[in-house]
Amino acid sequence: MKKYETWLKNSELKVTKPRLFVLEALEQAEGFLTADDIYTSAIEQSVDLSLSTVYRVLEQLTHKHMVSPLTLENQVRTVYELAHDKHAHHLICLSCGKVIHMQHCPVRAYKDKVETDHGFKIEKHTLDFYGYCADCSEG
């Protein structure tokens, strides 16, 4: 918990119980979580936290680059994870919604070429692949 207190202070955010709870929930998750997932976890743990507070905290943490949102193309929901130190892309299953991290950037060389060819400094980019995971593509 101490690392989150430091992280919040360094990001110029007050240390609050809702912010700490959201950060801990995202850290303990084995994947992405929705705001509803976090809210349900709060209810299960008897933590006094409203759904609107969860959304507000996620928005604040996203703005400070502490949390990364991902809006799934085939669904209306946004899922969240703790921000990574390294740039990543995702494989997203159209059937079950599973999100798999790709640990390398397959377009890094292309990005460098675009910068050179167009005299344009790219600060960030996103690339997500949609298809079917191994479990859903069987049978």
Q: Where are the domains of the chain?
A: 1-83, 87-139
How much is the pTM? 0.75
Residues 6+ apart with CB under 8 A from 39: 49, 50, 51, 54
> Distance (Å, rounded) from C-alpha 99 to C-alpha 37?
15
The Cα 127–Cα 101 span in angstroms is: 11
CATH top class, domain 1-83 = mainly alpha
According to the model, what pLDDT value does residue 37 have? 95
Q: Confidence band (pLDDT; 50, 70, 90) for 139?
A: low
Which CATH number does 87-139 carry? 3.30.1490.190
